[in-house]
């Protein structure tokens, strides 16, 4: 009994030190986003974001079939992406944007790496019906980069790992096998916290995409068509919104429509490219 009690005290002490270190590192690492003006908890520099993105680039390309051999498709992606960067606040960011069309005919997806590497699969490009819809996809991914969502996620993961590790040390008693359940609950809660942050990032990127599309001359309502395409591609077999890393499609359509109405209370300006 004495050994178990003493061991428990030291486990709690170590857990408190680990938790305190994780919290201090996270909350003391703040930076102001030079484009959005938002104060963010981030532990790496823009230069490190660029380096991380370039480091992950080859593996991600291999995972999705490599670079597409569709030269015309790649030219279209480049032209629309460069127009979005050139005509918006993204041009004032420190990132080096590069757009990649991936040769994956099955996975309907688009994503961005920290630092400006942006990807769209041939499966998604083939489902889009207009240049404006492509602009909606790419503008959303540009929003992730400019919003520094990847860097925020890294900092949040470090915090969650630190707190989860502390909880495991504090709750796990080698003399009591049932304590493993408490550790498992702590780990599950950490995962749910990160999922929540991911959904908020998606919604912020939608709002940024609306702004960037209009500034570059594209009708932001095309983003609604993109969301309907992605919803159809999902086949309706999605988990509840709370357990998803992306917002529910219907909920997301509502939020995009609300954001467009707020930004253009008198209606979307005429002459924007659909």
β 110-112/117-121 pair status: antiparallel
Handedness of CA 144, 147, 151, 155 (dihedral sign): negative
Coil, strand or helix at 112? strand
Q: How far apart are CA 159 and CA 150, in angstroms?
A: 14
| pLDDT score of 192 | 44
Q: Rounded to a whole number, what is the distance in angstroms from the first to the last CA of the chain?
A: 73
Q: With beta carbons less than 8 A apart as the criterion, state whether 164 and 190 touch.
A: yes
Q: With beta carbons less than 8 A apart as the criterion, state whether 107 and 64 touch.
A: yes
- CB neighbours (10 Å) of residue 223? 26
Q: What angle do CA 128, 208, 91 make, to 5 degrees?
A: 95
| pLDDT score of 234 | 72
Q: How far apart are CA 120 and CA 213, in angstroms?
A: 17
Tell me the HSE value of 90 on the side-chain side, using a 13 A CA sphere. 33
Alpha carbon of residue 134 to chain centroid: 18
| pLDDT score of 194 | 47
| pLDDT score of 6 | 56
| pLDDT score of 265 | 95
Q: With beta carbons less than 8 A apart as the criterion, state whether 87 and 215 touch.
A: yes
Alpha carbon of residue 52 to chain centroid: 15
**Residue 205 to residues 100, 144, 201, 223: CA-CA distances in angstroms?**
19, 6, 6, 11
Handedness of CA 163, 164, 167, 169 (dihedral sign): negative
**Residue 119 to residues 9, 31, 133, 207, 209: CA-CA distances in angstroms?**
50, 27, 15, 19, 16
| pLDDT score of 19 | 60
The conformation of residue 109, written as its DSSP 8-state character, comes to -
pLDDT tens by residue, the chain, 274 residues: 444 555 566 666 665 666 665 565 666 778 998 888 899 989 889 999 999 899 889 988 999 999 999 999 999 999 999 999 999 999 999 999 999 999 999 989 899 999 999 999 999 999 999 999 999 999 999 999 999 998 898 877 766 665 555 555 555 555 554 544 455 545 544 454 444 557 888 889 999 999 999 999 999 999 999 999 888 877 655 555 445 556 777 888 999 999 999 999 999 999 999 9
Coil, strand or helix at 108? coil
Q: For the chain, how many residues are written?
A: 274
Q: What residues form DSSP beta bridges with 98?
A: 117
């Amino acid at each position: 009994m004495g050994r178990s009690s003493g061991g428990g005290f030291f486990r709690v002490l170590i857990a408190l030190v680990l938790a305190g270190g994780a919290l201090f590192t996270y909350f003391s690492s703040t930076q102001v986003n030079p484009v959005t003006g938002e104060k963010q908890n981030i532990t790496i520099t823009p230069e490190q974001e660029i380096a991380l993105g370039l480091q992950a680039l080859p593996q991600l390309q291999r995972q999705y079939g490599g670079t597409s051999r569709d030269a015309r498709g790649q030219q279209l992606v480049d032209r629309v992406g460069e127009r979005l960067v050139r005509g918006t606040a993204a041009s004032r960011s420190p990132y080096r944007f590069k757009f990649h069309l991936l040769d994956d005919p099955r996975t309907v997806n688009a994503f961005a790496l920290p630092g400006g590497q942006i990807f769209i699969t041939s499966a998604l490009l083939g489902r889009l019906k207009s240049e404006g819809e492509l602009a909606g996809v790419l503008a959303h991914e540009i929003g992730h980069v400019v919003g520094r969502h990847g860097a925020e996620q890294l900092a949040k993961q470090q915090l969650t790992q630190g707190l989860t590790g502390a909880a495991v040390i504090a709750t796990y008693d080698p003399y009591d096998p049932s304590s493993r359940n408490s550790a498992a609950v702590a780990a599950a809660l950490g995962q749910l916290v990160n999922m929540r942050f991911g959904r908020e990032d998606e919604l912020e990127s939608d709002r940024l995409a609306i702004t960037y599309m209009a500034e570059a001359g594209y009708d932001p309502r095309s983003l609604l068509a993109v969301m309907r395409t992605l919803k159809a591609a999902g086949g309706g077999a999605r988990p509840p919104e709370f357990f998803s890393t992306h917002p529910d499609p219907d909920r997301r359509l509502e939020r995009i429509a609300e954001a467009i109405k707020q930004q253009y209370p008198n209606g979307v300006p005429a002459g924007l490219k659909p």
